Structure 1
Amino acid sequence: MQLSTGRTTKSKEFFDAIFGKEAINFNCINYKTGRTSPPINGLYNENTLNVLEQYNSQDYEIYFVVNGGGYKNRDIIKINAVFIDLDCPKVNGQLPSLNDVNEFKLQSMDAIREFQLSPSIIVESRNGYHAYWLLHEGATIEQFKECEARLVKQFNADPKVQKPCNLMRVPGFYWCKDVNNKFLVEIIELNNHRYKVEDILNALPEVEIVDRDFRTNNNHECITLVVIDGTNNPQPTNDNIELIKTLNVQALQQLLTPKPITLPKDEVWDYLKKQPLYQFLGVTEKSFRCLIHEDNNPSAGIIVNEESGHHIYCCGSSNCDFRGTIIDVTERLIGLNLFNTLNFLRKVYKIELAEAEWGKNHRETLERNLELINGQTIHELYPEVYKLVKNYLPLIDTLHQIAKQHIYTETFSESSGRPVFFVSIRELARKLKKDSKNISVQLAALTYLGLVNKLSEEEIPEPFLKRAIDEATKHNHKYLVGFYSIPSYDSESLAFITTKAIEFKTKGFTMKGFSRHMLLLSLGESEANRIFPQMAGKAIPQLNEEVTSKMERVALQMIRQKGWTTEKEILEQIELHFRGQQRFKETQIKRMLPDMYDKYLLKRVPLNNELKEKFGIDCIGFPRIIIDIETA
């Protein structure tokens, strides 16, 4: 396995940018055998390269310590950079498929491009990207830790990679965890730009450091341990766990003997959380092996909150730290979403729902909406709307079905009294068998039209908001799960929807360019915040602004010189140097054109013989060109 001269040269530029003339600490690890190389310290030169290549050829992974000093946190004496590891998560402990990785990489690169401070270096690995922000001298360990915590939160990056002594992959060498399908780790962007650590901190929201240690004497919660007499077997009975995992409702009912009960939806959660969790799981000891992670020693227990009566599962292992109610535990064991988990538990405990008049009225509203959308009325009376949304009817239908399933009580409604529901983009993509990014754009367009409402944090009902924040914190997600409501498609709503559909066409909007950036440029901050409430107040990334400005200058120069230009011609004049730049430019031009047309009184029109003769255009066919409105 011989590495090319070009790749090793680029790797040397990489290390020169980080370390200058200082020595580097390398480490080589073979995960299959568990062996680690002796510490390798030196400059990145031919001698070091030969040693690293020999290890890599024997399926060792090649790493280096980013910061200067030693291999342990206490030995780090100089902060060279802050960094993140954007790593596609494993599926059931297995490496993610290349399709999943490619989708993850696209989403990760979008997140990187949207951040206002571009990374100094981006490295591509098999499962994602490593991004580095090089720092000027003087950054302290505490500043490094704070900056890393904020970056991990901002990008939903791997939380394990934020220590001063972290190892990162050396570009120019092979990833070898699957020896039959090795992957060359490569530099895809290197610009040598250095930042003051204060500038990066100022660009990121503060994060709260949460102490996640498990203690039964937590002052914030009054609890007692459940002590159960029984055998000395610390393992939950396999029967119960197997019945839960296989969704065997009937067998669980025979074990638990629940009494049938009818409850309003808003009382179901409280009722379930009070059910004896030890009985549901088949636990017979106060300490037992954790069900959430592989546990050789009893580290889990069940506590009861004396005020609420809720039974809470807690694992005290540093490898797990799971904590949750019967709903959370079941969700983890069966691998279904929250809605399906609640349905399963309702069946097990024989809970029937009592729907109030409020719920019935809103259910009928949603059903009338579906009749309108799927019938002839929208096609005949609202043609502008139909033309725009006809390809997205399956998404509209799916949102309505989810909304109907999530009609609880008025407690779970927004300010207009409409029921609130939540669903992730990933879940919608799974249901519709579509790409997550496409679903995200379609959902934004439906929100723009007024067919669905996205809720800001201030509009989300408190019980929903608290759980969403907890989930986002637990999984290090940048944003909360999306919360929505759907209006009645009455004459007033349809008038607004029609106005927006006409505006979409007259402004020259396209689905490819539809984004918060486009809306900020064309319609202003208020409208952009309505459609992207979780991004309110966020600045447009610097790269986007620079490219938009360049595109405008090129377009105006071409029109001054010859009276016309084309999208293709503008794109050809913009030079960017990173992987995926062509796709980035094509998306960016779709975002900026509507605003440019308005600002400079331009128009995009199909070419005809008259315009060909006027401008001396010699081409086959009649492509669209951009000209002054007066010329048109």
Structure 2
Amino acid sequence: MRAKHFLLCNCNTQKKYRQKPNKNEVAAIQKSGELSVPIELTIKQLSEVLLHGCNCRASAVKGSSQKEFISQQLIALDVDNKNESTKHMLEHPLLPEEALKKVRQKGLEPFLIYQTHSSSEKWLRYRMLFYLSEPITDIKLAKEATEKLVGVLGSDGAIGYGDTCVTNPCQILFGTHYKEPLYCNYDAVNDVEDILRLPSLNSRDLKPKKPKAIKTNANIEAIKRHDAEYLRNKLGSRDPIICHSYSEFYEYVQHLDMSELLELEEKKSFTCILDDCSDQKPSANIFITEYGIWKYHCFKCKRNLNILQLIQKLGSFESAYQSYQFIQKIYNIEMVESEWVKQTRYDLNDIARQLSGDEFDEQCPTASKNIRNARTTLLQIVTIAQQTVSDERKSKDSGELVFSISSRQIAKAINKPQPKVQNYLKILIYHKIIRIVPDDQVPEHMLQRALRYAKSNRHICFYSIKSFVIDHLESVEERGISWKANNYKVKGISYEMFYRAEGYEVAAELYPNSSKKKIDTDIINKTPTKASDKRTEILMEITIELIAEQGFCTEKQILRQIESQKRFMDRQLQRSISEIMTANNLVKVRANKVLKAKYHIQTKGYPIIIIKA
């Protein structure tokens, strides 16, 4: 009976491609996270999904970067039959049966050989897949095993070294539209130790020697003189690439191949191409970040540029818009904004306009006072939202724009302490100016990306902003009046403060991820702790005694009666004051001359006092 050989790798068994994905589609694959979860397959099952056009990674990774490497039990060798110097087909291409003979001479056996999407009758290109006897959990060993296996064929110049799957275990391996394999053997197992004992042929020794990159070339000169037509003929897509917003356009451009744009054969250690850099030694390099974004870095001039910034620098563009237009012409990118994107951008601009003028203050006088310290935070949120408008960011429930922000990000932008910004966010949520979007209403690709990059398993919140139409502004003002009536203060902002004053529904609206607690196997609504209930009882007794004695009291007088933990009790008072006043029919008022005379208040000014309603 034939044994079933299992391996763990990242594979999408559902989405099929009839041709090699273009750059736009590759960026979408990386962004969607469809290849970010490892699954277990037999080598026969993996062969079948690849032959039906599905994609996989050679390794198992939790995400998409080498930093998240788990293991590798599959090695892929690409035989492109291409001369790396001329980029033309080899005069004597290596046929599959010849490649098979070479690897068998080393005691190796592939379980699958298949033609890649790029293969044709005139130019045969194929991929050989090798199954290892055990998974390799050390990424350095995985790379070493791959390089040594490459060396078996590399002396003939048959391997396409431009394909980073040779050295990157996390690279996407595309399936094929050729449904019949060139060769298969599902009993083929290769001993890891046998591969590691192969001669140590460094992949650099296998490549034909290339000249070092010079200071300039035809592509770089074309960027400098803004010759989009020249670059489009070399790099552009015949079919237009459609972007529905500038955020989508920006995301796409970030993943463009910078080495292809600059026509650089060497990605590392070349002379800086910037005119104002005096680099005489190879100090520059280009690389891809863990998020798939291309970067240009020069150790001499200390610049670290993305592709847009590099084009702006090389071309001496005086406006970002001009550089965007230049890139659009090169890559045949068309901006086609949907009505929803236009409407959302208009609404956000209108919100910024109302906040910057008097209109919001006139329609929401109470709410405007309540959020006065949070206004800068709100304007920063609107700015962030404006930069992310895209059809792919529409919430499933309300159709509003969904975006993620962190208090640290805003605090840094507006130069405010993070704890203050966290409180400002809660003030804005309470006033219904921004809304927390539940995870089940967040677009799937955004949620998966957040889960992938969340640190220490911390939850990432998603938000939306509703348009400032008059009906909504009226509901904002209603919440503003409620804030004032409940005597809320920034110092007391917490789940408990809102729960004690307005109940579970309002508290859960502001703290959806901490509104439940588990007792044994039951999930129940979170309530204040017994300790906080006890502190509230003490504060209530003191308040009642003071009012019974002098007819009124102040918060300072209440806290003076506390013998210990005054700072702690001060915070508790801010959280419980609304509940204390409601339970005892009390109100807060400013002591005018009449009230000062009635209660014999001797202090200067007109303090806020608590009295019977």
Flag the structure with larger Rg. 2
